[in-house]
């Protein structure tokens, strides 16, 4: 997410809205599907995923992009000792994008770096890298937050409560960085002491002179939050000797808390969830997480058209419709 700036975020926001609107008509859907049929995307997912995988794949379908996937290391020649770099270079021979999720931090950058000087330096889209980054999730989270506050003065100046395993949650790390583009916004970083936000993110927030508070309390912050972003325990990152709890009951949002939330509070979660987000909340109008999930395909489609320059065709089609 360090590659982004406010202009980019604003453009993707606008483009996401336009792609959503265009796709509502049959004519519009056919226009989008005809945009990039000569493009091919590799979905290289070396960690489990339901929604990121599906939303990227659906985004490709919306734009007519053909997809292939490698979702199981045992079917890749990496098991025969091929290096990660050679695997990436092989994908670049056949595809126009690599969309990758990897358990190791920094591997998306490493993939981009190894293609830099090759004859096919195709884009790498990071779909989640270790405990480090989930930049496209942050893009759709910002989109969802902005939509939620469209009639409440926008995202600027709002208080966002991030709660749960902030140390190992890559979604909250990426989102914290993108939020700094919205002046006057305050972050409350609420977690058990052992899982508080890492120092590199805190230093980034200091550098950007962001208003934030680190707290090991949760319930007390609920009444002041304009948005609550829950996260689960990321115990897939446990090491053999150091096993974390399966849930933090005191960092759980339950139906009985709804009465103390602001009327316009946006309740979010990148999903999947466990006990930290009570399913009894799902039907409350402030629960935005299913919408947040669905926004993924539109935001990711917008991103892919932007990096290939096809956003200009979409903008031009839209301005013709709006004439």
Among 130, 135, 192, 270, binds ligand CP (CB under 6 A): 270
**What residues between 191 and 220 interact with ligand CP by CB under 6 A?**
none
Nearer to ligand CP, 210 or 271 (CB): 271
In degrees and rounded to multiples of 5, residue 264 shows phi and psi of: -100, 10
Asked if 232 and 252 touch (Cβ cutoff 8 Å), the reply is no
Nearer to ligand CP, 71 or 221 (CB): 71
Choose, from 134, 168, 173, 232, the residue flagged as catalytic: 134
Contact flag: residue 272 with ligand CP (CB under 6 A): yes
Nearer to ligand CP, 148 or 231 (CB): 231
**What residues between 84 and 113 interact with ligand CP by CB under 6 A?**
none
Q: Which two tokens stand for residue 255?
A: 């139906």
Least Å distance between CB 170 and ligand CP?
8
Pattern 117-136, ligand CP, x by CB under 6 A? -----------x--------
21: CB partners within 8 A, 6+ apart: 28, 318
- Helix (H/G/I), strand (E/B), else coil: 263: coil
Annotated active-site residue 101? The verdict is: yes
Choose, from 24, 80, 151, 323, the residue flagged as catalytic: 80
Pattern 46-75, ligand CP, x by CB under 6 A? ---xxxxx----------------------
Least Å distance between CB 270 and ligand CP?
4
CA distances, 196 to each of 88, 160, 201 (Å)? 34, 16, 11
Q: How many residues bind ligand CP (CB under 6 A)?
A: 10
Choose, from 16, 52, 231, 305, the residue flagged as catalytic: 52
DSSP 64-132: T-EEEEE--GGGSGGGGT--HHHHHHHHHHH-SEEEEEESSTTHHHHHHHHHHTSS----EEEEEETTT
Q: In what order do the strands lie in the sheet with 66-70?
A: 66-70, 40-45, 97-102, 124-129
Nearer to ligand CP, 51 or 168 (CB): 51
In degrees and rounded to multiples of 5, residue 76 shows phi and psi of: -100, 150
Place of tokens 């982004």: 4
Q: Which two tokens stand for residue 101?
A: 């999720």
For residue 292, what is the DSSP state? H
Nearer to ligand CP, 131 or 311 (CB): 131
Of 142, 59, 65, 141, the C-alpha closest to 96 is 65
- Helix (H/G/I), strand (E/B), else coil: 57: helix
Q: Which two tokens stand for residue 104?
A: 């190791």
CA distance 126 to 290: 22
Nearer to ligand CP, 192 or 270 (CB): 270
Please identify, among the stretches 13-21, 45-53, 172-180, 231-239, the one whose residues bind ligand CP according to the rule CB under 6 A: 45-53
Please identify, among the stretches 43-51, 154-162, 187-195, 199-207, the one whose residues bind ligand CP according to the rule CB under 6 A: 43-51
User: Which positions are catalytic?
Assistant: 51-52, 80, 101, 134
Please give the residue ranges that form the binding site for ligand CP (CB under 6 A): 49-53, 128, 137, 270-272
């Amino acid at each position: 997410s360090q590659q982004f700036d406010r202009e980019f975020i604003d453009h993707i926001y606008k483009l996401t809205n336009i792609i959503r609107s265009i796709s509502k008509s049959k004519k519009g859907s056919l226009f989008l599907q005809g945009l990039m049929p000569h493009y091919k995307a590799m979905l290289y997912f070396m960690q489990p995923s339901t929604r990121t995988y599906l939303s990227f794949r659906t985004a490709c379908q919306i734009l007519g992009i053909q997809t292939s996937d490698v979702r199981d290391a045992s079917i890749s020649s990496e098991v025969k000792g091929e290096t990660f770099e050679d695997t990436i270079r092989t994908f670049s021979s056949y595809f126009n994008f690599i969309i990758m999720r990897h358990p190791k931090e920094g591997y998306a950058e490493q993939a981009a770096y190894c293609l830099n000087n090759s004859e096919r330096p195709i884009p790498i889209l990071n779909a989640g890298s270790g405990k480090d980054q989930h930049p496209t999730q942050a893009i759709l989270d910002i989109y969802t937050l902005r939509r939620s506050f469209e009639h409440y003065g926008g995202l600027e100046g709002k208080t966002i409560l991030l709660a749960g395993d902030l140390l190992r949650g890559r979604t909250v790390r990426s989102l914290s960085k993108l939020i700094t583009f919205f002046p006057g916004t305050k972050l409350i970083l609420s977690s058990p002491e052992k899982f508080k936000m890492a120092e590199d993110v805190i230093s980034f927030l200091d550098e950007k002179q962001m208003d934030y508070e680190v707290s090991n309390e949760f319930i007390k912050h609920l009444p002041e939050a304009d948005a609550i972003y829950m996260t689960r325990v990321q115990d897939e990152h446990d090491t053999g000797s150091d096993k974390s709890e399966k849930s933090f009951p005191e960092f759980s949002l339950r139906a009985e808390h709804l009465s103390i939330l602001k009327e316009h509070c946006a309740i979010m979660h990148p999903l999947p969830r466990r006990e930290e987000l009570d399913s009894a909340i799902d039907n409350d109008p402030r629960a935005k997480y299913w919408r947040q999930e669905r926004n993924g395909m539109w935001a990711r489609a917008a991103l892919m058209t932007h990096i290939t320059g096809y956003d200009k065709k979409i903008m031009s089609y839209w301005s013709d419709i709006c004439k």
